[in-house]
Every structure is written in C-alpha cells, then in structure tokens.
Homo-oligomer: A and B are copies of this chain.
C-alpha cells in the first residue's frame, strides 16, 4: 500500500480506463481484428483459441483483455453500435416517433444477425458498457420516452421489451434464414400486434 505517485498511476486512478502499455495496445488491436474476421466467417461461437491464434497472441492475453466472450463481441461491435445510434439521432427530426422506433428496432435486429449465433446473447452483449453499447441503449430509451410523450407508444412498454423483440427477431433469422427478408414484418408485428386493429 503506497501513495500513487507515477503519472501512469495517476492517469489510471482518474480515468479508470488504464493507459495500456504500447505492446498491449497493439495486441488488443490484433485481437479485435482477428475476432471480427472470425466472427464474420464462423459465427459468434467460434473458439476463442482460434481468435488468439489468428491474432498471434497467447490465449491468456486474450482473456486478460476480454474476460468474457460477450466483452469481445461488444468490443468488435463498438463502432457499429456508435454508427447506429448516430444514424438514429440524425434522422430523428424527419420521422414520426413511431417510425423512428420502427427504424431503430429494424436496424438493431439486422445488426444482431451480423454474426451467426449471436442472437441468444445479444441482450447480454448490449449491456457490456462499452461506449457503443451505452450509446445504443441511451438512444433506445430516448426514442421510447419520445414515443410515449407523443402518445403513440403505450405507457406500459419498457426498454426491456425492445430487447426481447430484438432477441426474438434475431433468433428467428438464425433458425430460418428466409425470415431475414421479413425483419420488417416481425418489427411491424411487434409495433402493431397480431390482432387486427380495432377488433377485440
């Protein structure tokens, strides 16, 4: 137990995102590229040892940097999530609240099928706390609130419901690739329901 005295230690203490040593930072990038490639080629459940091998690092290094598969998935998805959130914010003024939600769900569901076998864990991945995850989550909450304030979205809907729907849709796509062309239909079902409007 000593007083933190070096610059390193101070930076770490303040930002709580520790500055990685140069070699470590390079390895982190190598792992990310390898992971991205392999997730695309072979799905989200590719053995992590394969990722380490392609990155040219030891398996221990991979685990040190990304303690869980979800963390690695979230990291490789970081930029995509940031773009999605940004795109949603950008088009927002042009859309009615309901349509904004529709677009958000559709894009996120499509994104969740970027890697095969990602579906079941997308809910966990999206809560990993990376900047991308936080951005996409915040944007979803914003759209939901906006829709409810505008009176076009039911008051009893929660953001968790959004996640369930995205999960369901990407599982559907995974089990039956023909439904990839029906993402819109599935989102529409969730928005408008199975029942004919006005019946009941």
Contact = CB atoms under 8 A, between A and B. Distances in A.
Interface string A160-175: 1100110111011001
A20 to B, nearest CB: 32
Nearest to A127: B175
A195 B165 contact: no
A164 B153 contact: no
25 contacts: A120-B120, A124-B175, A151-B199, A152-B196, A153-B196, A154-B189, A154-B195, A160-B176, A161-B186, A161-B194, A164-B171, A164-B186, A167-B168, A171-B171, A189-B190, A189-B193, A190-B190, A190-B193, A190-B194, A191-B194, A191-B195, A192-B193, A192-B194, A197-B197, A197-B198
Interface SS, A side: helix
Interface residues of A, number: 37
